[in-house]
Amino acid sequence: MFDDTTGVLFAVILGVVLLVGLVALIIPEPGERAVIAVDRLDIAVLSFANGSSWEGAGTTLRARTETRLVNALGLSVYSRAQLDELLGEHALSAAGLVDEVTAVRIGSLIGVNKLVTGTVYSVQTTVEETTICEEWSGSECITSVPAARYGVRLLAQVEVLNAHTGQIEHAVDLSGSASDVFRQDAFFPGFDPLVAEAADEIAERVASMLTSTYTRELRYGLYRGARTKRDGFIGEGETRRFRASEDTVHLVVHFTRVRSNDGFRLQWQDPDGTVEAVEDIVDPGDWRLYRLELAGRSSGRHVAIGLLAGTEAFRAEFIVEP
C-alpha cells in the first residue's frame, strides 16, 4: 500500500513526465508576427440598438466593439465621432438592423467596405449570497464574512454587412458575462461596470471573428541555423546581422492562419536591388524553411520580403558583413 508521502512523490513524478512530454510536442513560434488583410478591410461600427431595459447598453457595446477593433491587427476602423456627424448631416439612421440600401449609402459616403452593427436584446443581473475569506492560514481560510456576488449577463446579436452590396455576411448571437464579490456591509457601485465588462467580452469575440474571417496570419524569424521538429522548424540564433564568409540566412515561417493553396512569394533583395524570388503554395498550419547562402553576396543591407496572396506580409531587413 502507498502511504501519503509515496503518493505525493508519485504524483510529482507523473506531473514532471507529462510536462516533459508536452514540451517535447510544442514547436516554439518564430518571434515576429504578421497579420494582413488580403482584401481591403475598412470597417465602421454603427450604433447598436438597445432592446433591453438597461439604459445605455447599446452605446456601451458599440464603444467596446470599436475599441477592440481599433486594437486588432489588420483592420482599419473609421472614427465613430466623424461617422455620427456625417450620418447626422445626411439624415441616415444606423442603429441596429440596417437595410441594404442604407448600408450601401453609408459605405459610399464614408468609403468603408464592412459595417458592424447589432442589437442588445437582454441584460440580466443577479445577486447571490456568498462569503469572502478575511483571514488565511497558509492555504486554509480560517475567518470568512458574509458577502454578495453581483453578476451580469449581456445578450446581443451582431451583424457584419458588406457595405458595397448591403448584404449580411455574418449574423451571430453572442453573450458576455461578468461578476464581482463585495462584503455585505461594503458599498456596491452598481451594475454599470459589470455591464461594460460583459460588453467587452462580446467585443473581443467580434474582433476575433473579423480577424479570423477576413485576415491571414503568419509568424516568421531570421536565424543563423534551424532544425526540424515534428512537422515544423525551430530557429537557432535569431539575428538580423550575418557574416558573408560563414553564415547562411535561415528564414522560418509558420503559416498560422491562411487559406488552402494560398500563394506565397519570397523575395531576397540585395543592396543593389537584385531580387531572387521563391514561389510557394501553402496551407493552414504549414511550416517552411527558406535559406539564403551568403557566400559571394554583397555586404550591406539586405531584405527578405514575404508576399501572401499578392499582398506584402512582412519586410525583414538584415545586415550582411564581409
Looking at 130-191, list the stretches that DSSP marks H as alpha helix, in order from N- to C-terminal side.
Answer: none
Given this model, what pLDDT does residue 41 score? 86
Average confidence score pLDDT of the chain: 89
Given this model, what pLDDT does residue 18 score? 44
Treating both helix axes as pointing N-terminal to C-terminal, what angle do 80-89 and 100-110 enclose, rounded to 10 degrees?
120
- Do β-strands 232-238 and 216-229 pair in parallel, antiparallel, or remain unpaired? antiparallel
Q: Per-residue pLDDT tens for 135-164?
A: 999 889 999 999 999 999 999 999 999 999
For the cut 70, the answer to whether the pLDDT of residue 1 exceeds it is no
Q: Per-residue pLDDT tens for 277-318?
A: 999 999 999 999 999 999 989 999 999 999 999 999 999 999
Cell numbers placing 82: 466623424
Find cell 517552411 and name the residue. 288
For the cut 80, the answer to whether the pLDDT of residue 96 exceeds it is no
Given CA atoms 103, 106, 112, 117 in this order, what sign does their dihedral have? negative
Given this model, what pLDDT does residue 11 score? 53
- Do β-strands 32-36 and 140-162 pair in parallel, antiparallel, or remain unpaired? unpaired
Q: How many CB atoms lie within 10 A of CB 91?
A: 6
Given this model, what pLDDT does residue 22 score? 40
Q: Per-residue pLDDT tens for 187-238?
A: 999 999 999 999 999 999 999 999 888 899 999 999 999 999 989 999 999 9
For the cut 70, the answer to whether the pLDDT of residue 128 exceeds it is yes
Q: Per-residue pLDDT tens for 39-50?
A: 778 999 999 999
pLDDT-derived band at 251, boundaries 50, 70, 90: very high
Given this model, what pLDDT does residue 9 score? 55
Given this model, what pLDDT does residue 23 score? 42
Looking at 111-245, list the stretches that DSSP marks H as alpha helix, in order from N- to C-terminal side.
Answer: 192-214
Domains of the chain, each with CATH number or no CATH:
38-120+154-175+183-214 (3.40.50.10610), 216-321 (2.60.40.2550)
Phi/psi at 41 (5° precision): -130, 80
- Asked if 116 and 69 count as a contact pair (C-beta separation under 8 A), the reply is yes
pLDDT-derived band at 101, boundaries 50, 70, 90: confident
Model pTM?
0.75
**Among residues of the chain, what percentage have pLDDT more than 90?**
71
Using DSSP, state whether 311 is helix, strand or coil. Answer: strand
- Asked if 112 and 160 count as a contact pair (C-beta separation under 8 A), the reply is no
CA-to-CA separations, 72 to 34, 55, 196, 241, in angstroms, rounded? 12, 28, 19, 31
Q: Which contacts of 97-105 are long-range, i.e. CB under 8 A and separated by 24 or more positions?
A: 97/49, 97/159, 98/46, 98/159, 98/161, 99/166, 100/165, 100/166, 100/167, 101/166, 102/166, 103/161, 103/162, 103/163, 103/166, 104/163, 104/164, 104/165, 104/166
- Asked if 66 and 79 count as a contact pair (C-beta separation under 8 A), the reply is no
Given this model, what pLDDT does residue 193 score? 97
Given this model, what pLDDT does residue 97 score? 59
Question: What's the rounded mean pLDDT across residues 253-266?
Answer: 96
For the cut 90, the answer to whether the pLDDT of residue 77 exceeds it is yes
Given this model, what pLDDT does residue 267 score? 97
Secondary structure element (H or E) that encloses residue 83, with its range = helix 80-89
